[in-house]
Every structure is written in C-alpha cells, then in structure tokens.
Amino acid sequence: MPINNISGLPGNQSQRATEGSQVQVARSEPTVSQQQTGRPSTVDTVSLTDTAARLRNLESNLAQLPVVDPQRVDTIRQAIRNGSYEVNPKRIAAKMTGLEQQLQRKS
C-alpha cells in the first residue's frame, strides 16, 4: 500500500509520487545547524490514509470475534454423543493433502 500523505518533512527534503504509486523521499545536504548539532531540525511524521485507518478498525473488530463457532461445536458434540456423526475419510485426506500443498508453496 503506497504512503501518499507524508507531512512534517524538513525544508531540505522533497517528496514526489512516481508511476506505480510509490513515494520517494530525496534528501539534500544537512543545514549548518544540523551539522553543528548532529540532529535534524524537525521530526518526520507519517499520516495514515483513510483506507489504512479503516483497515486498522476492521482488524480490531475481527480480533474481537471468537475463533471458534460455539454453536457448530455444540452441534458436532451432540452428533457424536447420539452416534449420528459420520466421518468421511476421503474428505479428511483431501483436506490434509490440500494443507500440505499450501504449506509447501509458502516455504
């Protein structure tokens, strides 16, 4: 995700967007006061775009959701207790193989 809203850059820095929505920051030589103190005269800051703020909010909302569906767990638990739960070995094997293939692609 490109960073388009950078503010607070010192006067000796320039920002320009290039093709492909990438941001480049160019620096010029330090000022005399920066050379004497060894410190920048201002602090760089980054502002989040509206999209980034919405993504952060969505991530926060998702983190509050339960990882497990308790209703589904209860349904399966009852099926096991009354003997109506059926295991499909072909489906289990296919899921395990699919997981193994995904893991191999990531490594």
DSSP string across 4-23: --EE---TTEEEEEETTTEE
Nearest to 24 by CA among 11, 32, 13: 13
pTM of the full structure: 0.35
Q: What is the pLDDT of residue 82?
A: 97
Percent of the chain exceeding pLDDT 90 equals: 36
- Is 1 domain-assigned? no
Domain that holds residue 20: 6-106
- Is 26 domain-assigned? yes
User: Number of folded domains in the chain?
Assistant: 1
Q: What is the mean pLDDT of residues 48-59?
A: 85
- Is 100 domain-assigned? yes
Q: Rounded to an integer, what distance in angstroms lies between the CA atom of residue 42 and that of residue 7?
A: 11
Q: What is the pLDDT of residue 72?
A: 93
- Is 65 domain-assigned? yes
Q: What is the pLDDT of residue 87?
A: 93
Mean per-residue pLDDT over the chain, rounded: 76
Half-sphere exposure of 54 (CA within 13 A, CB side): 3
Model confidence at 18: pLDDT above 70:
no
